[in-house]
Chain A
Amino acid sequence: MVEVNPNLQLRAEVKNLSFSYSTEKKVLNSVSMPIYDTKVTALIGPSGCGKTTLLRCFNRMHDLYKVKEYQGEITLYPEQMNILSKDIDPIEVRMRIGMVFQKPNPFPKTIFENVVYGLRVRGVKKTSFIQERCEKALQQAGLWDEVKDRLNSSAQMLSGGQQQRLCIARALATEPEVLLLDEPTSALDPISTAHVEELIIELKKDVTIVIVTHNLHQAARVSDYTAFMYLGDLIEYGPTTKIFTNPADKRTESYITGRFG
């Protein structure tokens, strides 16, 4: 059982979360862990361990497909609302929790329209506000200087790394409380990856980040807390330094030293 550190502010808490796509096999098996405010939490583990599935529970992405039952809770602080509850509209959840995907997925629109998409969807009309937010988000994503002269050209013209930072800017423009990153650098070259990692460290001042990554070095570099998952179970959760230097569980140790996974 994971102890919650009382000295830190909670942003979300996963409580006994189980989830399955089909009836037989459980993909998540009673996972419990805290997500601390303005910290980076990394989810690591071998392929098929359920880390992406867990991440996609946070913004109810599973609701888009033939709905499966969520069992357990994800409590969002400060108001302590269970975002998995049937009474909660997934759209409201997604308005507060942003997500960046593995593959950069800019919309076939201009750079500007990509960044302000969330605002348009929310019905924001005020042009000055929209422009202000666009600039701020692009600056936060470290992309402003590269694209400020061509905001009206197509987002497809950007390189892969720029597209991914554009997707981060798009998620940031609506000032989400939690930002979910699903292997955000797996499709990028090393330089773009370094860019995005610097960005994550910069961003955690303002926003809580949950990142799924296959790259253990990345988890060690950017995260404050790490959760190691294996076959749907949360094996170990703790401060990143502890997980990487002094893991309590044998399986965690084997995984981070590269003996399997």
Chain B
Amino acid sequence: MANTAKKTSKLSTFTSANHPVRRMRRFREMMIELVLFLAAASSVLVTVGIVWILVSESLPFFQTVSLVEFLTETQWTPLFAEPKYGILPLVCGTLLTTFVALLVAIPLGTISATFLSEYTNSTVREIVKPVLELLAAVPTVVYGYFALIFVTPLLQKIIPDLSGFNVLSAGLVIGIMIIPYISSLAEDAMRSVPGYLREGSFAMGASRFQTSFRVVIPAAFSGITSAYILGISRAIGETMVVAIAAGMQPNFTLNPLQPAETITAYIVQVSMGDLPHGSIGYQSIYVAGLTLLVMTLMFNVIGYYLKKKYRESY
């Protein structure tokens, strides 16, 4: 009893700023703050480090190859005897695969999100959603062989002059691969649209379809945009499927029936060889990586502005 009273009195006493108890407390707070700061700073530092390395390793490349050549030359053959350094074929291949993938993933992802969010009850959703998300758990190398060994021969029955390695089948399979990313995020966005907006629409005599497409999707547009941006980033960064099924031939073409090479596939191809450190081929990996970073950054910025522009308060 006496002990408790003593403790209480000690706790409630005001101590001077330099009292050891207060100094200790300040020190502890400072340490905690420092640890939290370091944890938060680590991801920023890693990002800065990656950008720094990409830029510093790319700079020597641009001393040999002019930026104009890099951006306008239509061939990419850094390892040939007469090397050409035009990034366009790789950018083209990347954008084309991404485009084909999005053509599959955006409609299917949005529709499955709408179905899951607006049309099903919780029982069906609890079964369908995990199955759909399983698509994301399949290793990408499996998708690659799926594209090469199953999808391409299937497509060749419809399009006879389709080459064995082509953008179309790689793009389609990447599209299927990113459906769960899009549908899952888009569904979350749609489900967070408050029920009173839906009721307002139904009360006006709208059908479920009209309510979904005229009220819920516009209201969830900002979240759905994030889902699309994530899908785009995944498609641009996808490596294994294109490396296996798209042919690793840097063609400057917009024809998805042709083989092509994406930036990521080039990096894989070249990294596996034994390039001497500091050679121009070695530097070209960094340049390709930097280009990829700039591209994804661009899409993220566009997405950020779309999100801001269409953010709805409800």
Contact = CB atoms under 8 A, between A and B. Distances in A.
Contacts of A167: 200
Contacts of A118: 204-205
B126 to A, nearest CB: 16
B314 A120 contact: no
Given A117-B214, A120-B214, A105 B204 contact: no
A88 interface: no
Interface stretch (A96-104, A129-137, A210-218): A96-104
B199 to A, nearest CB: 7
A198 B256 CA distance: 65
Interface residues of A, number: 27
Contact of B205 (A95, A106, A156): A95
Given A107-B219, A156-B314, A99 B203 contact: yes
Contacts of B314: 108, 156
B204 A171 contact: yes
A101 B201 CA distance: 11
A91 B201 CA distance: 11
A108 B204 contact: no
A122 interface: yes
B204 A117 contact: yes
Interface of B: 121, 196-207, 210, 214-215, 218-219, 312-314
Interface string A147-173: 000000000100000000001001100
A108 B218 contact: yes
Contacts of A174: 204-205
Contacts of A122: 205
Contacts of A98: 203-204
Interface of A: 59, 61, 64, 66, 91-92, 94-95, 98-99, 101, 103, 105-109, 117-118, 120-122, 156, 167, 170-171, 174
Contacts, number: 69
B197 A94 contact: no
B136 to A, nearest CB: 30
A94 B202 CA distance: 8
A59 B202 CA distance: 10
B215 A107 contact: yes
A18 B17 CA distance: 72
A101 B196 contact: yes
Given A107-B219, A121-B214, A64 B199 contact: yes
Given A108-B218, A156-B312, A156-B314, A121 B204 contact: yes
A93 to B, nearest CB: 8
Contacts of A99: 203
Nearest to A117: B204
Nearest to A119: B204
A109 B214 CA distance: 9
B301 to A, nearest CB: 24
Contact of A107 (B121, B197, B205, B313): B197
A103 B196 CA distance: 8
Contacts of A109: 218
A117 B201 contact: yes
Given A120-B214, A121-B214, A156-B312, A101 B202 contact: no
